[in-house]
Chains A and B, each alone.
Chain A
Amino acid sequence: MLRLDCLRSVYSELENCLVVTIMGAVAAELHSLGHRSNFFYLQHAMGLASSTGLGLALCLPERTVIVFDGDGSLLMNLGSLSTMARYRPRNLVHVVFDNESLLSVGGFPTATSTGTDLEGIARAAGIPRAVSVRCVENFKTALTDAVHGSELTTIIAKVEATGPSGYITDLSLLENRFQFRRHIQSLRKS
Chain B
Amino acid sequence: MAITKETAVDQITVTENGTVLYREATRIIEDGNELSKTFHRTSLVPGQDLTGVPVSVVAHCNLAWTAEVIAAYQAQVAAQAESIGA
Chains A and B come from one and the same complex = no
A residues at B contact (CB < 8 Å)? none
B residues apposed to A, CB below 8 Å: none
